[in-house]
């Protein structure tokens, strides 16, 4: 594919072509100039099993989502696949979006909207869960599900399906994860059969939301998301599923969207939010797989455009729509909708996008963005329920509440279990010189540094306390770098080593690097002062503000938001581990982080006088 390669971006291309020719080649022959480019190689992800989390919030979400998935009957999971191709389909119907109804009328928007659409995501989440826990019961379930699914592969599934590309994309994800994490020896054979069967029912190229491409079908058949599928196709190619997946990835790149973005033109207005942020992950994979500079630029520019229209929580896309730059829409949404941010799907796409961008650029602001979204949206989502009740929208209305979606088993029931597995791979990254600590979550990580077994334990009550402690274990003394993300709000931070302050002040919005010879017992203490600050919903509404403490948005627990001043908000006092209080002219105002809210009415934004 003939990509434009501006000279000014040559540095990036060196790293990209190094990646493309393969990391297997020994570095010893590289001349110094090229070895320098090595520092520009993308950071590597850790394996799921290299990181363990000791955080209740994160572990509970994983346990809850995965007990739901493990409890689903295999006949129920296979039922819509079997029904859609005319096979006998015993077992209970899961209902909700998962249900198949040949006479489904989309105007009712009721049960039957997207039969079997979450199957591939659930297989993927189970495979990742096995990578974390090593629990044989999970592995056996994945192997059984893939074999049962393989008996249902038929063109009729795609013909009778509103979302052939969406379903195919999730099935690809489930199968490549089954191959990689479960070692399913049949996964790529099943993937080949799936691809051969699906392709005649997919469009020739990426078709944008709302375009008619299948004759004789109603409007709901134009809501498929073929413009998002390149990412998993490129991943299939990278993981050895075959050359055809590289070609398919290129075929489905949505350049109608990426071309203007790469030139800095904002084409967000009116586009479906989650799927178009998810599509940016395909642009990042086009960069990582093909070395396409244009697609990296598209994703970087789009991230900036998204930052300019996000809420203080990190969420975006009220009523599932991206908005024109500088419009009134985001501020208006605080009164005219409760569907503020499609949380599990949006967080899943956002974490992937920022993970790719952080790995490629090493820019700490992508880590800041992940952290903001994690604490203020998905980590506070209501738990997935065995009957399919799912948390879908975060509500930033002045009269907000946490509620379950009206529909059972919606799209977000597919992504929430995947998000729950992936906190591990968001927390730490590495390069040949050492490790990057991106998120501050009680955890441990282990790796081998130039032949030395090393592990790092992280302890803290962050973000409810400002100090994070690390303890090193190394099989022998070993030199390497530890890089700590210093959030952009953390003015006046410091790092101490074995009780002695070694770095202060730290530069907010960067990674602070400590390179030395490490030994067992070394203690690092990172202090990140939790700055209180106000963030307006946009520059036109400077008096409509959210209160933040470090990475946390503090939500006002009230049914009638009172009149307050900026000064009163900024003087909020911590009254408990996860409680704050603001004194107002009338009554004290109770403030909570999203993770501490249950059913109380709240307001994300307050209007200051
Ligand atoms: Zn969703």
* Distance in angstroms (rounded) separating the CA atoms of residues 453 and 470: 17
Q: What is the pLDDT of residue 4?
A: 28
Report the separation in Å between the CA atom of 320 and the middle of ligand 1, taken as the mean of its atom positions. Answer: 9
Report the separation in Å between the CA atom of 143 and the middle of ligand 1, taken as the mean of its atom positions. Answer: 26
Model confidence at 3, pLDDT cuts 50, 70, 90, reads very low
Burial (CB count <10 Å: 0-12, 13-18, 19+), residue 577: exposed
Report the separation in Å between the CA atom of 84 and the middle of ligand 1, taken as the mean of its atom positions. Answer: 23
Report the separation in Å between the CA atom of 121 and the middle of ligand 1, taken as the mean of its atom positions. Answer: 12
Report the separation in Å between the CA atom of 409 and the middle of ligand 1, taken as the mean of its atom positions. Answer: 10
Question: In this predicted model, what pLDDT tens digit does every residue of 478-529 receive, in sequence order?
Answer: 999 999 999 999 999 999 999 999 999 999 999 999 999 999 999 999 999 9
Report the separation in Å between the CA atom of 405 and the middle of ligand 1, taken as the mean of its atom positions. Answer: 10
Q: What is the pLDDT of residue 23?
A: 36
Residue 411 is classified by DSSP as T
Q: For residue 604, which of 542, 561, 543 has the smallest C-alpha distance?
A: 561
Give me the phi and psi of 317, to 5 degrees please: 80, 60
Token readout for 139 is 């592995």
Q: Mean pLDDT for the chain?
A: 93
Report the separation in Å between the CA atom of 476 and the middle of ligand 1, taken as the mean of its atom positions. Answer: 47
Report the separation in Å between the CA atom of 508 and the middle of ligand 1, taken as the mean of its atom positions. Answer: 33
Paired strand residues for 572:
none
Report the separation in Å between the CA atom of 411 and the middle of ligand 1, taken as the mean of its atom positions. Answer: 4
Report the separation in Å between the CA atom of 605 and the middle of ligand 1, taken as the mean of its atom positions. Answer: 24
Report the separation in Å between the CA atom of 95 and the middle of ligand 1, taken as the mean of its atom positions. Answer: 17
> Helix, strand, or coil here: 3?
coil
Q: What pTM was estimated for this model as a whole?
A: 0.93
Q: What is the pLDDT of residue 39?
A: 52
**Mean pLDDT on 118-144:** 98
Report the separation in Å between the CA atom of 484 and the middle of ligand 1, taken as the mean of its atom positions. Answer: 32
Report the separation in Å between the CA atom of 359 and the middle of ligand 1, taken as the mean of its atom positions. Answer: 26
Q: What is the pLDDT of residue 35?
A: 44
Q: What is the pLDDT of residue 38?
A: 47
Question: In this predicted model, what pLDDT tens digit does every residue of 83-127 receive, in sequence order?
Answer: 999 999 999 999 999 999 999 988 876 799 999 999 999 999 999
* Distance in angstroms (rounded) separating the CA atoms of residues 68 and 41: 39
Q: Where are the alpha helices (DSSP H) in 239-380?
A: 244-251, 255-262, 273-290, 293-307, 329-336, 343-361, 364-376
Contacts of 65 (CB under 8 A, 6+ apart): 125, 383, 384, 416, 417, 420
3-state secondary structure 129-182: HHHHHCCHHHHHHHHHHHHHHHCCCCHHHHHCCCCHHHHHHHHHHHHHHHHHHH
Q: What is the pLDDT of residue 14?
A: 38
Judge contact between 384 and 69, C-beta under 8 A: no
Question: In this predicted model, what pLDDT tens digit does every residue of 146-186 receive, in sequence order?
Answer: 999 999 999 999 998 999 999 999 999 999 999 999 999 99
Report the separation in Å between the CA atom of 274 and the middle of ligand 1, taken as the mean of its atom positions. Answer: 8
Q: What is the pLDDT of residue 19?
A: 41
**Could you tell me what percent of the chain has a pLDDT over 70?**
93
pLDDT score of 235 more than 80: yes
Report the separation in Å between the CA atom of 435 and the middle of ligand 1, taken as the mean of its atom positions. Answer: 33
Q: For residue 65, which of 122, 144, 131 has the smallest C-alpha distance?
A: 122
**Mean pLDDT on 411-434:** 98
pLDDT score of 29 more than 50: no
Q: What is the pLDDT of residue 398?
A: 97
Place of tokens 């004759």: 215
Q: What is the pLDDT of residue 24?
A: 34
What is the rounded end-to-end Cα distance, in angstroms, of the chain? 56
| E strand intervals along 12-139 | 44-45, 51-53
Residue 382 is classified by DSSP as P
Report the separation in Å between the CA atom of 422 and the middle of ligand 1, taken as the mean of its atom positions. Answer: 17
Report the separation in Å between the CA atom of 117 and the middle of ligand 1, taken as the mean of its atom positions. Answer: 11
Report the separation in Å between the CA atom of 380 and the middle of ligand 1, taken as the mean of its atom positions. Answer: 16
Of the two residues 25 and 474, the one the predictor is more confident about is: 474
pLDDT score of 45 more than 50: yes
> Helix, strand, or coil here: 280?
helix
Question: In this predicted model, what pLDDT tens digit does every residue of 280-320 receive, in sequence order?
Answer: 999 999 999 999 999 999 999 999 999 999 999 999 999 99
Say how many C-beta atoms besides its own lie within 10 A of residue 184's C-beta.
22
**Mean pLDDT on 558-567:** 93
């Amino acid at each position: 594919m003939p990509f434009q390669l501006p000279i000014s971006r040559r540095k990036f291309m060196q790293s990209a072509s190094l990646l493309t020719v393969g990391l297997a080649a020994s570095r010893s022959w590289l001349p110094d100039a090229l070895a320098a480019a090595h520092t520009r190689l993308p950071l590597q992800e850790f394996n799921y099993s290299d990181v363990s989390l000791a955080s209740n919030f994160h572990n509970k979400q994983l346990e809850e989502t995965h007990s739901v998935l493990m409890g689903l009957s295999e006949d129920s999971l296979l039922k819509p696949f079997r029904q859609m191709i005319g096979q006998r389909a015993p077992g209970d119907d899961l209902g909700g979006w998962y249900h198949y109804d040949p006479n489904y009328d989309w105007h009712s928007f009721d049960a039957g909207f997207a039969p079997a659409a979450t199957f591939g995501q659930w297989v993927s989440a189970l495979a990742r869960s096995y990578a974390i826990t090593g629990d044989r019961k999970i592995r056996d379930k994945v192997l059984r599900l893939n074999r049962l699914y393989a008996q249902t592969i038929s063109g009729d599934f795609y013909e009778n399906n509103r979302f052939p590309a969406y379903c195919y994309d999730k099935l690809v994800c489930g199968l490549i994860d089954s191959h990689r994490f479960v070692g399913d020896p049949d996964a790529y054979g099943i993937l080949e059969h799936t691809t051969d069967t699906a392709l005649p029912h997919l469009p020739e190229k990426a078709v944008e939301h709302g375009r008619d491409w299948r004759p004789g079908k109603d409007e709901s058949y134009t809501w498929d998301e073929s413009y998002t599928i390149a990412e998993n196709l490129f991943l299939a190619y990278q993981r050895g599923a075959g050359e055809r997946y590289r070609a398919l990835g290129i075929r489905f790149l949505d350049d109608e969207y990426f071309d203007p973005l790469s030139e800095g033109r904002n084409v967000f207005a009116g586009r479906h939010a989650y799927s178009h942020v998810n599509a940016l992950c395909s642009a990042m994979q086009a960069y990582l797989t093909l070395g396409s500079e244009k697609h990296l630029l598209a994703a970087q520019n789009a991230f900036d455009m998204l930052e300019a229209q996000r809420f203080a929580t990190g969420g975006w896309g009220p009523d599932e729509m991206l908005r024109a730059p500088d419009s009134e829409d985001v501020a208006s949404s605080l009164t005219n909708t409760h569907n503020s941010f499609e949380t599990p799907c949006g967080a899943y796409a956002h974490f992937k996008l920022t993970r790719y961008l952080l790995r490629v650029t090493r820019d700490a602001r992508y880590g800041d963005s992940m952290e903001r979204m994690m604490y203020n949206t998905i980590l506070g989502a209501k738990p997935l329920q065995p009957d399919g009740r799912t948390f879908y929208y975060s509500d930033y209305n002045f009269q907000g509440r946490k509620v379950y979606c009206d529909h059972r088993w919606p799209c977000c029931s597919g992504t929430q279990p995947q998000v729950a597995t992936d906190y591990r791979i968001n927390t730490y990254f590495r390069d040949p010189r050492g490790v990057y600590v991106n998120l501050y979550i009680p955890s441990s990580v282990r790796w081998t540094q130039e032949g030395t077994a090393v592990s790092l334990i992280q302890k803290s009550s962050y973000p409810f306390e400002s100090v994070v402690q690390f303890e090193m274990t190394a099989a022998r003394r070993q030199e390497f770098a530890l890089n700590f993300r210093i959030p952009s709000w953390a003015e006046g931070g410091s790092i101490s080593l074995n009780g002695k302050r070694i770095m202060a002040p730290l530069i907010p919005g960067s990674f602070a690097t400590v390179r030395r010879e490490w030994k067992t017992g070394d203690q690092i203490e990172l202090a990140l002062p939790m700055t209180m600050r106000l963030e307006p919903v946009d520059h036109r509404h400077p008096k409509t503000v959210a209160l933040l403490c470090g990475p946390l948005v503090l939500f006002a627990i009230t049914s009638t938001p009172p009149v307050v001043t900026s000064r009163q908000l900024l003087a909020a006092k911590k009254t408990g581990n996860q409680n704050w209080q603001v004194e107002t002219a009338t009554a004290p105002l109770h403030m909570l982080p999203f993770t501490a809210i249950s059913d109380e009415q709240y307001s994300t934004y307050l209007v200051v006088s």
